[in-house]
């Protein structure tokens, strides 16, 4: 019984996993460019899932996930630059560094609530960016860190590493969200005072969500350093290109849904590649993203997955006259 219900719940997940694992074998997808797009998509899904844990389930909206991403990226970069070891050691090392960093950020920011927490985390991302720009002896400042020799020329190894990260994150999310902690997180999101009065140590569980979310994002950051071979503060601590896109990925896909981050990452990456390909409109990609964000917030506040029925109905109705507020 337990076995069959497990299978029923995760049939889709198993299919997706098999499809993704087999993707490099499909000739059309096995170009350097397509694999790059797929790697980006998986990276964003991991960041999206981790943001979803902290912000979607636990309700602590972070505007500063670039802080964790950048910390992870720089852990790998600095290990390579000063430690003289492979940047891949950055992955295990970033768990410790970002874990500690998240504790500090949590200590400062988690005393804030709602939008104030959001802005606190945003400030943390900016603090780290400016620090990385100014601590030239450690980070090479705005010059950035360049990894001279990429580990592999082919993209497949990178693809399978990030796929493993994504699967691991997905499993962790499923275990967490279905555990007692997951219920605590949702309780905190719905009403922090009520959760507190029921005996949930809100600060403790918010910190747990933040640290797990941060560490997973940091792992992607460390992966990014090894994959791209170059990092600088403007890129890895970027407010718009990392922190805000993280939020958009989950908002578009669906906040607090299992598949939202994947759907969001897919939509966002495909969109940004399409927009970039268009000659005149390329420079307007932030305007288009901004418009998309506004449209999503007003019409699909729960994202593509959360408002699945609504999207479905809209698509099916198609040419039929759309009625305002057709609930």
Partner 1 sequence: MVQLEVFLQTLISGILLGGLYAVIGLGMTLIMGVMKIINLAHGELMMVAMYIAFWLFSLLGVDPYVSLLVTIPALFVLGVVIQRTLISPVLKVDSILPENQVILTVGIGMILANLATMFFSSDYRSTPVSYAADAWYLSDYWRSSPIELSLSVPWTVSFGFALAITAALWGFLQHTDTGKAIRATAQDKDAALMMGINVERMTMVTFGLGAALVGAAGSLFIPMYYLYPALGGKFTLIAFVITILGGLGSTQGAIIGGIILGIFESMTATYIGMGWAPVGRFVIFVACLVFLPRGVAGLMKRS
Can you tell me whether residue 85 is helix, strand or coil? coil
Pairwise CA distance, residues 200 & 210, whole Å: 16
User: Candidates 122-130, 171-179, 201-209, 224-232 — which segment interacts with partner 1 by CB under 8 A?
Assistant: 122-130
Among residues 16, 244, 43, the alpha carbon closest in space to that of 125 is found at 244
Can you tell me whether residue 255 is helix, strand or coil? coil
256 binds partner 1 (CB under 8 A): yes
- Tokens 């002896």 correspond to what residue? 137
Angle at Cα 262 formed by Cα 89 and Cα 13, nearest 5°? 90
User: Candidates 175-183, 222-230, 244-252, 263-271 — which segment interacts with partner 1 by CB under 8 A?
Assistant: 244-252
251 binds partner 1 (CB under 8 A): yes
273 binds partner 1 (CB under 8 A): no
301 binds partner 1 (CB under 8 A): yes
Between 157 and 301, CB nearer to partner 1? 301
Pairwise CA distance, residues 272 & 274, whole Å: 5
- The count of chain residues that interact with partner 1, using the rule CB under 8 A, is 46
For the chain, the straight-line distance linking the first and the last C-alpha, in angstroms and rounded, comes to: 37
Pairwise CA distance, residues 159 & 36, whole Å: 8
Angle at Cα 35 formed by Cα 26 and Cα 51, nearest 5°? 120
Between 103 and 239, CB nearer to partner 1? 239
Q: Of the candidates 239, 271, 275, 314, which one interacts with partner 1 according to CB under 8 A?
A: 239
Between 50 and 226, CB nearer to partner 1? 50
With beta carbons less than 8 A apart as the criterion, state whether 146 and 232 touch: no
User: Candidates 149-157, 204-212, 239-247, 264-272 — which segment interacts with partner 1 by CB under 8 A?
Assistant: 239-247
Shortest gap between Cβ of 225 and partner 1 (angstroms)?
A: 23
The residues near 15 (Cβ < 8 Å, ≥ 6 apart) are none
- Tokens 């506004």 correspond to what residue? 294
User: Candidates 217-225, 251-259, 269-277, 312-320 — which segment interacts with partner 1 by CB under 8 A?
Assistant: 251-259
275 binds partner 1 (CB under 8 A): no
Q: Of the candidates 9, 86, 134, 179, which one interacts with partner 1 according to CB under 8 A?
A: 134
- The contact set with partner 1 (CB under 8 A) reads 55-56, 59, 61, 63, 108-109, 111-112, 114-116, 118-120, 122-123, 126-127, 130-131, 133-134, 189, 239-240, 244, 247, 251, 255-256, 283-287, 289-291, 293-294, 297-298, 301-302, 306
């Amino acid at each position: 019984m337990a076995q069959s219900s497990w299978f029923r719940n995760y049939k889709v997940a198993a299919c997706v996993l098999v499809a993704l694992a087999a993707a490099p074998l499909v000739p059309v997808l096995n170009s350097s460019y397509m694999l790059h797009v797929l790697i980006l998509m998986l990276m964003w899904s991991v960041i999206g899932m981790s943001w979803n844990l902290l912000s979607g389930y636990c309700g602590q909206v972070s505007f500063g996930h670039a802080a964790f991403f950048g910390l992870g990226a720089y852990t790998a970069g600095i290990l390579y630059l000063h430690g003289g070891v492979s940047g891949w050691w950055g992955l295990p090392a970033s768990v410790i560094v970002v874990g500690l960093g998240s504790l500090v950020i949590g200590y400062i920011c988690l005393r804030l609530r709602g939008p104030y927490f959001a802005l606190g985390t945003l400030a943390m991302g900016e603090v780290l960016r400016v620090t990385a720009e100014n601590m030239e002896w450690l980070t090479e400042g705005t010059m950035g860190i360049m990894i001279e020799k990429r580990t592999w020329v082919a993209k497949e190894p990178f693809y399978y590493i990030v796929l493993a990260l994504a699967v691991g994150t997905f499993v962790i999310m499923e275990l967490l969200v279905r555990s007692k902690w997951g219920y605590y997180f949702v309780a905190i999101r719905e009403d922090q005072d009520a959760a507190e009065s029921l005996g949930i140590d809100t600060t403790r569980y918010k910190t747990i969500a933040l640290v797990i979310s941060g560490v997973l994002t940091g792992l992607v950051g460390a992966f990014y350093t090894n994959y791209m071979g170059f990092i600088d503060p403007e890129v890895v601590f970027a407010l718009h290109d990392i922190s805000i896109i993280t939020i958009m990925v989950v908002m578009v896909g669906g906040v607090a849904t299992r598949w939202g981050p994947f759907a969001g990452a897919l939509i966002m990456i495909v969109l940004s590649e399409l927009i970039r390909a268009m000659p005149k409109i390329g420079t307007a990609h932030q305007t288009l993203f901004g418009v998309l964000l506004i449209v999503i917030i007003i019409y699909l506040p729960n994202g593509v997955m959360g408002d699945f029925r609504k999207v479905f109905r809209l698509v099916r109705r198609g040419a039929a006259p759309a009625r305002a507020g057709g609930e």
